[in-house]
Chains A and B, each alone.
Chain A
Amino acid sequence: MKTILVVDDDEAIRTLLREELEEEGYKVVIATNARDALKMVETEPLDLVILDIRMPGMDGLEALPRILGLKEGLPVILNSAYSQYQESFMSWAADAYVVKSSDLTELKVKIKELVAK
């Protein structure tokens, strides 16, 4: 079973993603902020990270290179309600950028693609 880390400060999003992804057959682990996420990346076996951008403390764009520095080759999907961060060079290091939507089809397709690699 593939394990996905969901990093988001919004409880509703975390619950939605957990339910939907568990239904797809993934194991889902949760971090409510970037600092906890970094600790989990370091210690837990993960197959993919879904990373929110706007979070208090450390944001997703700051966390992204650190995640990649800790676990080279770990796929990361940036998942933000905003599309403008796609223009930031810092977001280009992610494997995918998916704008948040109630329809999770695009996110699920990207996950499937990336965990299969």
Chain B
Amino acid sequence: MDSMKKLTTIIMAGGKGERLFPLTRDKAKPVITFGGIYRILDFTLSNCLNSGIRRIYVLSQYGSFSLEQHLRQAWDVMHPDLNEFIYSMPPQQIMVNRWYRGTADSIYQNLTLLEQERPRQVLILSGDHVYKLNYREMMDFHLQHNADLTVAAVMVPRVEGSSFGILKVNEASEVENFLEKPKDPPGLPDNPDFSLVSMGVYIFNAETLVEEVIKDAKKKTSKHDFGGDIIPQMVGHKKVYAYNFQDPVTNTPRYWRDIGLLDAYFKAHQDLLGKAPVFELYDADWPVRSKPQLYPPSKYICSGSHVTVEDSLIASGCIIEGTVERSVLSPGVKVGVGATVCQAILWDGVEVGSGAHIRQAIIEEGVRVPPGFTIGLDHERDAKRFHVTENGVVVVPNNAVMVGD
């Protein structure tokens, strides 16, 4: 039988995304615009589709309407007649009278769902990661190792491991410990300069999952988190394995990013650019789905001054009369005569007035930058008006008011 037939997939999409403020001010983190035409969640959902997964629960909480809206507009593609679905599930307050206290608690609160489905395995995913993983291959690994839990993990240089949840593994890839942001991250037995970062992607045997979340729900000290609580609770008692997400030929880590911080969001966009980008969207074998939108083709208009577009992603419906470099433009963006947009992420319908200059910025949908205005050139001045990240990226929210400089 197809190993994926008895699988239930649950995507965690309820987090508040406070570290992505102000982008998460009015919407759930998984539905933040990414790569011009996508939402972050589209990558995980596309992974499911490309892996042959057609039955998906999306657990929502914070900003659940924005999530529901996106699922309707972009992902109404399943056929309930064929027992295919994507359902969004906010806390129902049926089983217990509270919000989700953590990722493990969100499963505990939906035990009735697992009781109805009675899957053999449960695939648990996160709605705010950008990567391309064939869950079928991870399932093969899980079955080959006869594991109770398989955790997907990616290698990072050991010196960078201190900012992640690290898995300590033995030579057989068995997990010996989970360490949250360790000062001295353990290296891999066969690759001591690299540590394994948990990707927050799990395959559980269903019965093990139920036992473990019940056990966790009864612990008063628990934060009810899969990484910090469930894995440590299982290590030593159950068979927990790490699935190393690496290129099978070169043994180098494959692309995975947690879009948890504004600087990570910005940097991940730079990974999409250039002739041979770090993360390739032009991949016929692994299409990424997004909301279908009707826009006319983008046009570049030379109205006397020079029009330049370099190393950028330009969505449909844009009108460009100025300069765009190393930037990502969502549909319907306008860049006026003599304006420059460099290393910027412009969401739907942003208008950059003529002669305005934008550098290292994230600008939310519909913002009108007045003619001659500058963003990202004078951080001190920017910081008085907008949010500026540690790395100097200026974030302009959709309610920003700007008057000409």
Contact = CB atoms under 8 A, between A and B. Distances in A.
Contacts of B214: 92-93
B384 interface: no
Contacts of A66: 95-97
A93 B112 CA distance: 12
Contacts of B237: none
Given A89-B210, A92-B210, A92-B211, A68 B115 contact: no
A69 B98 CA distance: 8
A66 B214 CA distance: 13
A41 to B, nearest CB: 13
A73 interface: yes
B107 to A, nearest CB: 11
A90 B112 contact: yes
Given A65-B95, A68-B217, 8 more contacts: A66-B97, A68-B96, A69-B97, A89-B115, A90-B111, A92-B210, A93-B214, A93-B217
Interface string A64-91: 0110110011000000000000001110
25 contacts: A65-B95, A65-B111, A66-B95, A66-B97, A68-B96, A68-B218, A69-B95, A69-B96, A69-B97, A69-B98, A72-B218, A72-B220, A73-B220, A88-B115, A89-B111, A89-B114, A90-B111, A90-B112, A90-B115, A92-B210, A92-B211, A92-B214, A93-B111, A93-B214, A93-B217
Nearest to A64: B95
Contacts of B114: 89
Interface string A36-47: 000000000000
Interface in B210-229: 210-211, 214, 217-218, 220
Contact of A65 (B96, B210, B220): B96
Nearest to A67: B96
A92 B115 CA distance: 11
The 8 tightest CB contacts between A and B, nearest first, are A69-B96, A65-B95, A89-B115, A89-B210, A93-B214, A89-B111, A92-B214, A65-B96
Interface residues of B, number: 14
A73 B214 CA distance: 11
A34 to B, nearest CB: 13
Contacts of B115: 88-90
B177 to A, nearest CB: 27
B97 to A, nearest CB: 6
Contacts of B97: 66, 69
In the complex, which of the residues B98, B112, B114 has the most CB atoms of chain A within 10 Å of its own CB atom? B112
B218 A73 contact: yes
A88 to B, nearest CB: 6
A3 B112 CA distance: 30
Contacts of B217: 68, 93
A65 B114 CA distance: 15
A68 B214 CA distance: 10
Contacts of B98: 69
Contacts of A92: 210-211, 214
Contacts of A88: 115
A70 B114 CA distance: 23
Interface in B95-114: 95-98, 111-112, 114
B102 to A, nearest CB: 14
Contacts of B96: 65-66, 68-69
Interface string A2-36: 00000000000000000000000000000000000
In the complex, which of the residues B210, B211, B214 has the most CB atoms of chain A within 10 Å of its own CB atom? B214
Interface in B72-99: 95-98
B372 to A, nearest CB: 59
Contacts of A69: 95-98
A90 B95 CA distance: 10
A78 to B, nearest CB: 13
A92 B220 CA distance: 18
A93 B114 CA distance: 14
Nearest to B210: A89
In the complex, which of the residues A69, A73, A89, A92 has the most CB atoms of chain B within 10 Å of its own CB atom? A89
A72 B218 CA distance: 6
Contacts of B211: 92
A73 to B, nearest CB: 6
A73 B97 CA distance: 16
Interface string B218-255: 10100000000000000000000000000000000000
A17 B75 CA distance: 55
Contacts of B112: 90
A93 B98 CA distance: 17
Interface in B320-346: none
A49 B96 CA distance: 18
B112 to A, nearest CB: 7
A93 B214 CA distance: 6
Contacts of A93: 111, 214, 217
